Amino acid sequence: MAKMWAGRTDGVTERIADDFNSSIHFDSRMYRQDITGSMAHAAMLAAQNIISQKDADTLIEGLSGILADLDSGALAIDMECEDIHMFVEQVLTQRLGDVGKKLHTARSRNDQVALDIRMYLRQEIDEITDLVKKLIAAVTGKAEAYKDAIMPGYTHLQRAQPITFGHHLMAYAMMLLRDMDRLADCRKRMNLSPIGCCALAGTTYPIDRQFEASQLCFDGVCLNSLDGVSDRDFCVELMSAISVLMMHLSRFSEEIILWSSWEFKFIELSDAYTTGSSIMPQKKNPDMAELVRGKTGRVYGDLMALLTTLKGLPLAYNKDMQEDKESIFDACDTVKMCLKVFVGMIDTLTANEENMKRAAQKGFINATDLADYLVKKGLPFRSAYKISGHLVALCIQQDTVLEELPLEQYRTFSPLFEADLYQAIDLKVCVEKRISEGGTSTASVQMQINKVKEMLHL
Ligand code: ARG
């Protein structure tokens, strides 16, 4: 097929070269941004007397007709075109004749594609942020419901100290808050307009880049035209932010998978977010959480793919950069899907408070509190720690727990032990005494919940 760029060459290429070169299969999803950008471009050209107002009006009307027809399905995207930019220009010229050919004045596909991706991703960031916010709301809601449900807190996946399920859940709310922050930060740097950088060097036409930027809701313009067309930092930054977010979802998934196992049985996922086995009738599998964990690897791959593509690219535009889109689109699609599923999964899960409590009673997780009890009676912490350790060893030997060891046995280790020790090592007391800021007491957790609700206007 002869190309729009025929001239220097005859524009006739091999079919296989066309297919290889084409990006319309994945960049067609940016048609709205492409057309909106072109409308602002036409308006700017007229405002600067580069084309007549009449031509600009015709172009804008033609473009808005194409947009409406694409939205309604009356116009189908021609996959024979090289990319979305060529497709829109081709339809415009078919519909308007020679006027259509004026649109591409003082512009190149290099700044056009850079503009389209920024506009597209800006919107994606807003959608992802909205979903993260929904997830924080779901997590915070569950945390409030279980703010005094005692469970073992772990380090090294060994029972460490008693905490509440609410406290544990709020840790994820904090991670997600940072994710929102990272997305906002990334959006800020992304929101500069590259249009007017043209192919690489700017243009001899008296364009007004600020006019176009403000029409398209950018905060300003890219200051160097070479950088404007070759910068894909915003894609890398967004994929990094998404990767960290996926890492959080993956850690959360891992815990959900553990907690819903028979060994833990801390939570029960709703039937709506689990699957059965085709052969083992007893199975209720946490597939959603496993898939989120799995898809995290895929998103890391997207990030690494683009970083590797960009590494060593000379300035300014190189066709390699067309490879940015599939990675970034995949990362955005994947994280949005994961977030949507996650919100539902969290909203509908229930905690088995009995099992959590039982697990907390078995692991000597009040041994620190036993040592603290002796410290309060005047013993140095290291000595208290040692006695507490000996008592744990004794309990293990006698197959009992600290709560059930008789006072006489305690007193063989230290005369400081009195009957009030049982109160001091009561799990509920251990939890509620940790009133330090950010701690596990119901009051501290409620403060965390209130703060998050206030920040997000939940
Ligand atoms: N489809 C191209 C891309 O996505 C558009 C820019 C093409 N520019 C060029 N000089 N061939 O990068």
Report pLDDT digits (tens) over 363-414.
899 999 999 999 999 999 999 999 999 999 999 999 999 999 999 999 999 9
- Give the nearest ligand 1 atom to 325 CA: 4
Best mutation site among 107, 313, 319 for ligand 1, i.e. most ligand atoms within 8 A of its Cβ? Answer: 319
Summarize the confidence of residues 104-129 as an average pLDDT: 98
Summarize the confidence of residues 335-353 as an average pLDDT: 98
Cα distances (angstroms) measured from residue 361 to each of 122, 239, 423, 441: 49, 43, 14, 17
Kindly tell me if the per-residue pLDDT of 7 is higher than 90. no
Instruction: Kindly give the distance from the C-alpha atom of residue 322 to the centroid of ligand 1, in angstroms, as a whole number.
Output: 6
Q: How far apart are CA 234 and CA 254, in angstroms?
A: 30
Mean pLDDT for the chain overall: 96
Summarize the confidence of residues 211-230 as an average pLDDT: 98
For the chain, the helix, strand and coil percentages under 3-state DSSP, each to the nearest 5: 65, 5, 30
- Give the nearest ligand 1 atom to 321 CA: 12
Best mutation site among 22, 110, 116, 117 for ligand 1, i.e. most ligand atoms within 8 A of its Cβ? Answer: 110
Instruction: Kindly give the distance from the C-alpha atom of residue 195 to the centroid of ligand 1, in angstroms, as a whole number.
Output: 14
- Quote the pTM value: 0.95
Kindly tell me if the per-residue pLDDT of 6 is higher than 90. no
Our answer on whether the CB atom of 321 is closer than 6 Å to any ligand 1 atom is yes
Kindly tell me if the per-residue pLDDT of 1 is higher than 90. no
Kindly tell me if the per-residue pLDDT of 361 is higher than 80. yes
Nearest alpha carbon, ligand 1 atom 3? 322
- Residues marked active site are found at 156, 277
Q: How far apart are CA 108 and CA 276, in angstroms?
A: 54
* CB atoms inside a 10 Å sphere around CB 10: 9
Residue 80 one-letter amino acid: E
Nearest alpha carbon, ligand 1 atom 11? 319
Our answer on whether the CB atom of 165 is closer than 6 Å to any ligand 1 atom is no
Q: How far apart are CA 448 and CA 168, in angstroms?
A: 11
User: What's residue 278's pLDDT?
Assistant: 79
pLDDT digits (tens, 9 = 90+) for 139-161: 999 999 999 999 999 999 999 99
User: What's residue 9's pLDDT?
Assistant: 82
Summarize the confidence of residues 36-52 as an average pLDDT: 98
- Give the nearest ligand 1 atom to 27 CA: 4
DSSP string, 174-205: HHHHHHHHHHHHHHHHH-EE-TT-TTTT--SS
Our answer on whether the CB atom of 109 is closer than 6 Å to any ligand 1 atom is yes
Among the listed residues 448, 435, 428, the one whose alpha carbon sits nearest the alpha carbon of residue 164: 428
Our answer on whether the CB atom of 110 is closer than 6 Å to any ligand 1 atom is yes
Instruction: Report strand pairing: 158-164 vs 192-193.
Output: unpaired
Our answer on whether the CB atom of 322 is closer than 6 Å to any ligand 1 atom is yes
Nearest alpha carbon, ligand 1 atom 12? 322
Kindly tell me if the per-residue pLDDT of 283 is higher than 80. no
Summarize the confidence of residues 8-34 as an average pLDDT: 94
User: What's residue 266's pLDDT?
Assistant: 98
